[in-house]
Structure 1
């Protein structure tokens, strides 16, 4: 299985499936951080140590497990292809830095990625659609158990799994749910809720994690604490907060419908018109309009748009994937033109043309 598959397909298989509360919770992710004994952590290791860690991990997953993983070394990929993998949430932005001797092993259905030599020697990631904390953890834990049987993990009886960043020490687990919260954002309740949640040991970030924004009203909600709690306690705490956010978002949607239905419908259909007919579509506007149309579909107001197309456009709209699809580097204006053209084509407003045709005179 080659890396071209992961480059070519915009929508990962899990994005076409549906999980619990999928109208609000877009995905669940479990990430486990692990290190091997006998090697310095990535922040200080040598190239020889990095290569040895790489061989050890890939040897287990590729030679022994034989479970359909593909292996890609970051230094073998151009910057654009690394960016595409980040945009698809298959690797972290940190792993995309080529001089860190990083690599990734991806399962064929893209639900599992094992990142090698990121911030830690091993980062096991599992993504499921909707709210599926227990199932996602079970899958990640299965991969973790297999690796731990074959490899010597850095583990302390008092502190748990040892990691490069002290905030990950303990279980080494970050559980997160990616949530679409447009009504809470429109009513500005999100500004009050985020600080309250942070006091409970849960952090709310943008969809690409720490330091990222929340374009399209998509937020990543995850645990802050990994030390002093078991995996099951972390999952229970996050599940409780996610359920509360789901309840608040549903109430806010009902309030918008009952108090401002005409204004809401006007906004949603205007956004549908924008992504259907715009000739210039900046990324920020595209994200906002996609959020509105998604909300319109979830509320039953917009009925003639396939949600799977919106999932595809969420990936297509980003700079890396646009340029990968166009097979050429694009200026910002060219990206805005090409993004608008792709949106029109996918929404069946306009017939498609060869991807390299970018008419800047539109």
Structure 2
């Protein structure tokens, strides 16, 4: 897969809308933080260190492809890419907002199906990510572990017998693992249960973040729930714990949806139908309003109130309607009004399909 295709298609493996509980869980992610034993952490690297890291990453990717994953992995140096292209990758959750900055010293390796992405020279030397649709943390972990093993055939990691994998941020020391699920929780927000739930999750050592991770807002009632620390627990324990809690959150959200629909049926039907009507007919719409209305439509689909729009369509719309994607598709910068017009036309066409 070439770079152009990567930044002009809205589909990724995680957007498929398949896997267990797609009505609540958009995606599952496993991320492993790794550093090379003979290089300083990224914040202290020289230009020579950076070049050594990038070449080591190229060797590691060659080893991954020798192992024979179903989808080929390609390394892209980000130095020659545009801010718009990098923002598209952020919107697709393939790189972090931090990785999109100061791109001259960075790279990313991405598989053709976009289930695997490896950020090079972000907060750590390597950030191995695997994204799967629905609640599939175990599958994501198996793939991430295989990628990690392949890289370790070529690269020597910074590892301490007592502490585990050494990382730039102390909260990642140990396994270096961050497991997360991206969840749509509109009913918990509407019934004002979300605040209490998130407080309880924090007491269990979990953290709740917005749509694009740390420091971002929960647009469209979409939240990322992940483990907070990785020291002192085995990978399987961290993942099993998060999966069990995710299932509890799914059940709680399902109960809240049924309560809303049972107690406020007309209001809920009116809310989601208005959202569908606005999105199906609007000529101008901002990304903020579109995210809010798409959240209502997603709820309406799950409750069986609205036509059976696929979760894949809704997931891909979240990417395709973002400013960067709209401008990349148009081949030029668009002013805010032009973007809002293009966004409205895109949504109308997708919902009518």
Confirm or deny a common fold (TM above 0.5): yes
8 A Cα contact 1:155 1:161, kept in partner: yes
The separation in 2 between residues aligned to 1:230 and 1:172, in whole angstroms, is: 10
Report the RMSD for the aligned CA atoms in angstroms.
1.4
Superposed, 1:61-80 pairs within 5 Å as 61-62=61-62, 65-66=65-66, 67=68, 68-80=72-84
Cα offsets for 1:223-242 (capped at 9, x unmatched): 00111111111112211211
1:266/1:138 Cα in 2 relative to 1: closer, same or farther (>3 Å)?
Answer: same
**1:340 equivalent in alignment to 2:344:** yes
8 A Cα contact 1:88 1:315, kept in partner: yes
1:117/1:16 Cα in 2 relative to 1: closer, same or farther (>3 Å)?
Answer: same
2:170 matched to which residue of 1?
166
8 A Cα contact 1:95 1:118, kept in partner: yes
1:313 to partner: Cα distance: 0.9
The separation in 1 between residues aligned to 2:310 and 2:145, in whole angstroms, is: 34
The 3-state SS of whatever aligns with 2:213 is coil
The 3-state SS of whatever aligns with 2:151 is helix
1:57 matched to which residue of 2?
57
8 A Cα contact 2:13 2:133, kept in partner: no
Cα offsets for 1:45-90 (capped at 9, x unmatched): 0111111111112112126734521221111101100100110111
1:34 to partner: Cα distance: 0.2
Aligned residue among 187, 194, 200 for 1:196: 200
The 3-state SS of whatever aligns with 2:189 is helix
8 A Cα contact 1:174 1:226, kept in partner: yes
Compute the TM-score of the two structures, normalised by the length of structure 1. Answer: 0.93
**1:7 equivalent in alignment to 2:7:** yes
Cα offsets for 1:18-48 (capped at 9, x unmatched): 1111111110000000000111110100111
1:152 matched to which residue of 2?
156
Aligned residue among 179, 182, 190 for 2:183: 179
- Structure 2: runs of 5+ lacking an equivalent: none
2:112 matched to which residue of 1?
108
8 A Cα contact 2:73 2:109, kept in partner: yes
Compute the TM-score of the two structures, normalised by the length of structure 2. Answer: 0.96
1:264 to partner: Cα distance: 0.1
8 A Cα contact 2:17 2:315, kept in partner: no
The 3-state SS of whatever aligns with 1:120 is coil
Cα offsets for 1:126-168 (capped at 9, x unmatched): 0001111111101000000111122110000111000011111
Give the 4+ runs in structure 1 shifted more than 6 A. Answer: none
1:354 matched to which residue of 2?
none
The 3-state SS of whatever aligns with 1:65 is helix
1:121 matched to which residue of 2?
125
8 A Cα contact 1:3 1:70, kept in partner: no
1:119 to partner: Cα distance: 0.7
1:304 to partner: Cα distance: 4.5
8 A Cα contact 2:17 2:26, kept in partner: no
8 A Cα contact 1:100 1:117, kept in partner: no
1:330 matched to which residue of 2?
334
**1:259 equivalent in alignment to 2:259:** no
The separation in 1 between residues aligned to 2:232 and 2:258, in whole angstroms, is: 39
The number of residues matched between the two structures is: 349
The separation in 1 between residues aligned to 2:145 and 2:104, in whole angstroms, is: 26
1:307 to partner: Cα distance: 2.9
The 3-state SS of whatever aligns with 1:43 is helix
Larger RCO (CA under 8 A, 6+ residues apart): 2
Aligned residue among 88, 91, 108 for 1:87: 91
The separation in 2 between residues aligned to 1:209 and 1:247, in whole angstroms, is: 23
1:267 to partner: Cα distance: 0.2
The 3-state SS of whatever aligns with 2:167 is coil
**1:284 equivalent in alignment to 2:261:** no
1:341 to partner: Cα distance: 1.4
1:13 to partner: Cα distance: 3.2
